[in-house]
């Protein structure tokens, strides 16, 4: 079986390639694709085929996808351009006769008010319209997203957010990558949509307790209002766009949009998801 993995030069895609090999896929059956040639060279050292692609360049996609049985389409990182980019990838996969497309989406992308959901929703719609068999992995939040919180806690002893009592069911990138490797290599996932999230939905207080363990000093959860948060981040020198994004995301968290509630991830990978404390220790 020939599997093409996009975003393989990034963190999640690289882990997907590793999990595929761990699950017994022959490296020669995998084509790892992305833009960064240094990281592609690193992947070639693992024995996988590589190709340079850019979602904005259809010819590069056509060349890379030819002969693929399954396309692992890892969502891109250029927010605002992703619907066109992902649509290019889907169109190229259809033209190349790819048998199935697996796409990394976002939690409840079709209905969620999550600020990141619209591009994923539009991509899911393009995927459904393409007529190609698909598997949608609606990935929840990565624990690795809290690397900056670890650093802040180490320096200040404070975990400050405007998430209120909102919970986050995060899991490690490796958990999500393992789930991708499972649906790429086992039958029964055609036209399935999985809501992937960590087993435990933690609060800001839980996060502060975990940070206390990880950084070795007492860390206090300090909830603030969105207005206070905006003023604090602006005062720290962040640009308006970043401040708006962070505060909006905390609002989404406060509203429970990252709280998970599905056991699909643990079921797919066959073991509990990585606990918050272990995920933070790996980040630290």
Ligand X SMILES: NC(=O)c1ccc[n+]([C@@H]2O[C@H](COP(=O)([O-])OP(=O)(O)OC[C@H]3O[C@@H](n4cnc5c(N)ncnc54)[C@H](OP(=O)(O)O)[C@@H]3O)[C@@H](O)[C@H]2O)c1
242 binds ligand X (CB under 6 A): no
The answer to whether 31 and 65 are in contact (CB under 8 A) is no
In whole angstroms, give the CA distance from residue 174 to residue 169.
Answer: 15
Q: Which stretch binds ligand X (CB under 6 A): 52-60, 181-189, 247-255, 262-270?
A: 52-60
In whole angstroms, give the CA distance from residue 34 to residue 45.
Answer: 15
Residues 58-77 interacting with ligand X (rule: CB under 6 A): 74-77
Q: Give 79 or 231: the residue with its C-beta nearer to ligand X.
A: 79
Per DSSP (E only), the strands in 126-241 are: 134-139, 158-161, 192-196, 220-223
Among 50, 85, 88, 230, the residue binding ligand X under the rule CB under 6 A is: 85
Q: Give 56 or 147: the residue with its C-beta nearer to ligand X.
A: 56
56 binds ligand X (CB under 6 A): yes
Among 13, 223, 251, 260, the residue binding ligand X under the rule CB under 6 A is: 13
194 binds ligand X (CB under 6 A): no
End-to-end alpha carbon distance in the chain: 37
In whole angstroms, give the CA distance from residue 45 to residue 2.
Answer: 18
Cα angle: 191, vertex 192, 198; to 5 degrees = 155
146 binds ligand X (CB under 6 A): no
Among 50, 139, 174, 253, the residue binding ligand X under the rule CB under 6 A is: 139
Q: Which stretch binds ligand X (CB under 6 A): 3-11, 122-130, 152-160, 263-271?
A: 3-11
Q: How far is the CB of 129 from ligand X (least distance, A)?
A: 20
Q: Residue with the closest Cβ to ligand X?
A: 10
- List all residues 6 or more positions away from 170 whose beta carbon is below 8 Å from its beta carbon: 140, 141, 142, 143, 145, 146, 197, 198, 202, 258, 276, 279
Among 22, 26, 36, 186, the residue binding ligand X under the rule CB under 6 A is: 36
Q: How far is the CB of 192 from ligand X (least distance, A)?
A: 19
Whose CA is closest to 4, among 66, 58, 59, 76? Answer: 66
Whose CA is closest to 223, among 238, 235, 210, 208? Answer: 208
253 binds ligand X (CB under 6 A): no
Site of interaction with ligand X (CB under 6 A)? 7, 9-13, 34-36, 53-56, 74-78, 85, 104, 139, 141-142, 145
């Amino acid at each position: 079986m020939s599997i093409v993995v996009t975003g393989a030069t990034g963190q999640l895609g690289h882990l997907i390639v590793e999990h595929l090999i761990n699950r017994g896929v022959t490296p020669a059956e995998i084509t790892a694709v992305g833009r960064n040639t240094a990281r592609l060279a690193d992947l070639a050292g693992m024995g996988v085929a590589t190709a340079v692609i850019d979602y904005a360049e259809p010819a590069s996609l056509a060349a890379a996808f030819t002969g693929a049985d399954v396309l692992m389409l890892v969502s891109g990182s250029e927010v605002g351009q992703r619907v066109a980019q992902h649509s290019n990838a889907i169109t190229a996969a259809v033209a190349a006769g790819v048998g199935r497309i697996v796409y990394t989406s976002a939690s409840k992308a079709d209905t969620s008010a999550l600020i990141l959901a619209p591009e994923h929703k539009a991509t899911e719609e393009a995927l459904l319209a393409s007529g190609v068999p698909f598997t949608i992995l609606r990935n929840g939040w990565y624990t690795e997203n809290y690397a900056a919180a670890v650093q802040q806690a180490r320096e200040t002893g404070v975990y400050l957010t405007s998430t209120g009592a909102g919970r986050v069911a995060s899991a490690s990138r490796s958990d999500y990558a393992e789930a991708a490797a499972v649906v790429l290599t086992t039958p029964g996932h055609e036209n399935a949509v999985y809501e992937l999230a960590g087993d435990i939905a933690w609060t800001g207080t839980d996060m502060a307790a975990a940070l206390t363990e990880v950084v070795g000093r007492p860390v206090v959860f300090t909830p603030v209002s969105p207005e206070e948060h905006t003023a604090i981040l602006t005062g720290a020198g962040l640009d308006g766009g970043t401040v708006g994004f962070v505060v909006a995301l905390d609002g989404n968290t406060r509203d429970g949009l990252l709280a998970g509630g599905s056991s699909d991830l643990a079921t797919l990978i066959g073991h509990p998801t990585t606990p918050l404390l272990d995920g933070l220790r790996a980040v630290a």
